Structure 1
Amino acid sequence: MRQFNQTLLPGLLLSLGVACLSKIIAIWLPSLGAGTIAILLGILLGNIFFNHPIWQKGTKFSEKTLLELSIVLLGTTITFQTIAQIGGSGVIFIMLQMTITILAAYFIGKKLKFSQTMSLMMAGGNAVCGSSAIGAIAPEIGAKDKEKGQIITLVNLLGTVMMLTLPLVGGAFFSESVMAKSALIGGTLQSVGQVIASANMVSPDVVEMATLFKILRIMFLVVVVFVFGKVAQQNNDTAETNTQVANKKKKFPLPWYIIGFIVCCVLNSVIHFPTLLSQTTHSISGWFEITALAAIGLRINAREFLKEGPRFLAYAGSVGLIQTIVAISLIKLLSI
C-alpha cells in the first residue's frame, strides 16, 4: 500500500483533480463538455507545469486502467439491441476500413524502407487498437523492442492529431448525423481513449456509438494477430525470428476489458439490470472516463512531435490521411 501511495497516488490524484476542475468549468462551457475540457486542460497543464516523472505512473494508471474499467461498466448500460443499431452496413464498414488500412500502412511502410515488422505493427496499430494491438502483434512477428517503441510512439502521435481534427472533419462532412460521425471516429482512431476523447468533442450520443464501433474493431484483433503471425512465418528473411516466435508461449490477444464488456452486455440483455444499478454504474463509468481523459491529456508530450524524423512523420501522415479519406468514402457509399 505504501508503495502504491508513493508511485501511483500523485498522478492519480492529479488526474482526478483535473477531472473535477473540468466538471466545474463545463458548467459555464456546456457546449464543450467536461470530457473535452479535461483532455485540453490536461495537455496544457501537463506540458507547462506537471511534466515531472513523479506524475507518470499515476497518470498512466488513470489513462489505462480507469478507461478499461469504464468500458467494462459501459457494458452494464448496453444491450444487444443497442449494438444492433450499428447494423450490417456498420460491420461491413469496419471490415473494409480495417482491411484497407492494413494494406495501405503495410505497403507505404515498405515503400518508405521500413522493415516488415515495423510495417506490420504500424498496420495493426492503426487498423485495430493502437498500443494494445502493437503489444499483441509484436511477439507474434518477432519485432525488436526498439522497433516496437518507435511504432507505438508514431501511432500515438498520429492518433493525437486525428483525435483533435476528426470532430471538425465529421462536422464538415456529416452535419448532424450521429451514426456517421460515430463511424468516422470509432472506425479510424487508434486507441480507445482517443475515440472517447474525440467523440466527447461532439456529443454523448457519439461517445456511445463510436465506442461500439471501436469495440467491434478490437474484437477482430484475434484474427489480425493470427494472420500477421502467418505472414511473418512465411517471410524468408525471418528464419531466426520464426524460431523465437515458435518457442514463445501464446496468449489470448483479446483484451480483458473487451471480454468484461461482452459479459456485462450479455447479462444486461438477458436479465436486464435494475435501473438504479445501471444509473450508478453509468455515473461511475463517467467519472472513470473523464479522469482517464484528463490523464491522456497530461501524458501528451508536445516535444515528441518534434523528435520524429521526416520519414516517420511522412509515414504517419500518409496513413492517417488514407484512413480518413477511406472512412468518409465508405460511410457515404454504405449510407451509414
Structure 2
Amino acid sequence: MKIKVKDILPGLIVSVSVGVASMLLANIIPKIGAASIAIFLGMFVGNLFLNQDVFQKGYKFSETDLLSYSIALLGATLSISTLMELGVSGILFIVLQMSITIISALYIGKKLGFGQNFRYLMASGNAVCGSSAIASTAPVIGADDKDKGIAITIVNVTGIFLMFSLPIIANFLYNLEPMKTSAIIGGTLQSVGQVVASGAMVNEKVKELSTLFKIVRVILLVVVVFVFGHLKNKSNIEILEEEIKDTKKGKVKVPWYVIAFFVACALFSLKLIPTQASLICKELSNKFEIIALAAIGLKVNIRDLIKQGKAVSLYGFFVGLVQIISATTLIYLIL
C-alpha cells in the first residue's frame, strides 16, 4: 500500500516539531537528554490536545519508518568488532531469554483462561519485536483482528512501563555497566523503538549495544512465526503447506533495516565508508531517532492504558515480571 504524503504530513510535522523542541531543550538541561525529553514531551502534547485521528498515520510513519532509517544508518557507524562484543554468551542469552518468554507467555495465558491464538500473539509480541511480530504471526495462525488489536495494545503497554523501569533496575543491579544494562534492555523490551528509547536514557554506548541485542531477536522472528504456524496447524497439512508457501514468498521475513544495518556495518568495517560519511550517518541516525521517539510519546494514549481489563493487564504484568526475572538470572549465569 502506497503512503500518501497528505495523510502522513500532519503527524510528521508534529513529530518533527516535538523532536526539534526536545533537541533544543536538551541543550538547556543536558543531564536529561533529548531522547527522554522527546518521549515525555510527546506524551504531554499528544494526550493534551494532539491525539486526533488526523495525526495518527504521521505518528506511525515517524515511529516506524524514521526509526528503521535510523537503525540502518547506525550500521555505518559500527564495525564488525563492535558486533562481536555480544559474543557467543550474548547470543545464547537472547535465545534462552526468548524461549523462556514464549513458554511463560503461553503458560500464563492458559492459566488466565485466554484462547490459543491470543496466547501465541502475546508470546511472539513479547519475545521478539512487539507489534511487528504480532502482525507477522496473526495471519499464520489465523488470529482475528480483535485478538490482534488487544495483543498489540497490551504488549505496547507492558513495553512502555518496562522502558522506564529497566534503566532504574539496571542502575540498581549493575550500576549501569554497559554490557549487562544493554542485555536487560535489548533482551527484554518489546519493540525496537522502546529499546532505543530506554537505551538512550542511559547513554550512547548502551543504546548501541542494546540495539544489537534487539536485532538478534528480530532476526529470529522468522523462526518464531514458523514454529507457531506449525504448532497451530500441525493437524492441517493444507494450511501448513500454504504457510510454507507464504514464508517462501517473503510474507514472513527479516525486516529490511536489519539487512541494511549489517550491509552498512560490513562496508564500514572494510573502510569503504569514509570517516566523514560515517559521521554524517551518525548525525542523521540520531536526528531520526529523536523524531521517532517523539512519535512514540505522541502515540501513547494514557486513557487506553487505564481502560485495559483486569485479566489482560495481569497477563501483561506477569509476562513482564517473568522477563525481568529471567533476564537478570541469565545475565548473572551467562554474562
TM-score calculated relative to the size of structure 1: 0.94
- TM-fit CA distance, 1:294: 0.3
Give the residue type in structure 2 aligned to 1:276: Q
- Is the CA contact 2:76–2:265 (under 8 Å) kept in the aligned structure 1? yes
Following superposition, the deviation at residue 4 of structure 1 comes to 4.1
Aligned-pair CA distance for 1:240:
11
Q: Please say if residues 125 and 190 of structure 1, whose CA atoms lie closer than 8 Å, have aligned partners that are also in contact.
A: yes
Q: Following the alignment from structure 2 to structure 1, what is the Cα–Cα distance between the partners of residues 54 and 37? A: 23
Q: Which residue of 2 aligns with 1:312?
A: 312
Verify the 8 A CA contact 2:229 2:243 in the aligned structure 1: no
Paired residues for 1:40-79 under 5 Å? 40-79=40-79
Aligned residue number for residue 26 of structure 2: 26
Aligned counterpart, 1:279: 279
Larger deviation: 122-131 or 240-249?
240-249
Q: Within the alignment, does 1:225 sit opposite 2:222 as a pair?
A: no
Offset at residue 137 of structure 1 (A): 1.1
Q: CA deviation at 1:252?
A: 3.6
Query: How far, CA to CA, are the matches of 1:190 and 1:332 in structure 2?
Result: 22
Structure 1 residues 227 and 193: alpha-carbon distance in aligned structure 2, compared to 1, 3 A threshold: same
- Pairwise CA distance, 1:307: 1.7
1:142: how far off? 1.2
1:43 touches 1:297 (CA, 8 Å); kept in 2? Answer: yes
Counterpart residue number, 1:187: 187
Asked whether the equivalents of residues 167 and 176 of structure 2 are also in contact (C-alpha less than 8 Å), the reply is no
Q: Distance in 1 between matches of 2:138 and 2:24?
A: 42
Measure how far apart 1:266 and its partner are: 2.0
User: What one-letter code is carried by the residue in structure 2 that aligns with 1:202?
Assistant: V
1:37 aligned residue: 37
C-alpha root-mean-square deviation of aligned residues, in Å? Answer: 1.8
Look up the match of 2:262.
262
CA contact (8 A) 1:141 1:245 kept: no
The answer on whether the counterparts of 2:233 and 2:240 sit within 8 Å (CA) in structure 1 is no
Runs of 4+ in 1 over 4 A off after TM superposition: 243-248
Summarize the Cα distance change of 1:222–1:4 in structure 2 as closer, same or farther, 3 Å threshold: closer
Tell me the CA shift for residue 140 of structure 1: 1.3
Task: Return the alpha-carbon distance in structure 2 between the equivalents of residues 36 and 42 of structure 1.
Answer: 10
Quote the Cα distance in structure 2 between the aligned partners of 1:244 and 1:289: 40
Instruction: Measure the CA separation in 1 of the matches of 2:210 and 2:204.
Output: 10
Matches of 1:149 and 1:52 in 2, distance apart?
19
**Secondary structure at 2:30 match in 1:** coil
Deviations 1:184-217 (A, max 9, x none): 1000000000001111111111100000000011
2:246–2:252 CA contact under 8 A, matched in 1 = no
1:137 is matched with which residue?
A: 137
Deviation string, structure 1 residues 17-73 (Cα, Å, up to 9, x no partner)? 111111111112111110110011101111012112221111111011000111111
Partner of 1:147: 147
Deviation at 1:271, TM superposition (A): 3.8
1:11–1:58 Cα contact (<8 Å) kept: yes
Structure 2, unpaired ranges of 5+: none
Superposed, 1:43-122 pairs within 5 Å as 43-122=43-122
Quote the sequence identity (%): 48
SS of 1:189's equivalent in the other structure is coil
Give the gaps of 5 or more residues in structure 1: none
Q: C-alpha distance in 1, partners of 2:20/2:46?
A: 16
Q: Do the aligned residues in 2 keep the contact of 1:141 with 1:242 (CA within 8 Å)? A: no
User: What CA distance in whole angstroms lies between the structure 1 residues aligned with 2:244 and 2:70?
Assistant: 36
The reply on whether 1:249 has 2:246 as its aligned counterpart is: yes
CA-to-aligned-CA distance 1:207-260 (integer Å, 9 cap, x gap): 0000000001111111111111111112x6xx5994795597332421111111
Deviation at 1:305, TM superposition (A): 1.0
Q: C-alpha offsets along residues 146-198 of structure 1, whole Å, 9 cap, x if unaligned?
A: 11111111101111111111111111111031111100100000000000111
- CA distance in 1: counterparts of 2:287 and 2:214, whole angstroms: 20
Deviation for aligned residue 1:272:
3.8
Q: Distance in 1 between matches of 2:237 and 2:138?
A: 15
Q: 2-side partners of 1:223 and 1:6: how far apart?
A: 37
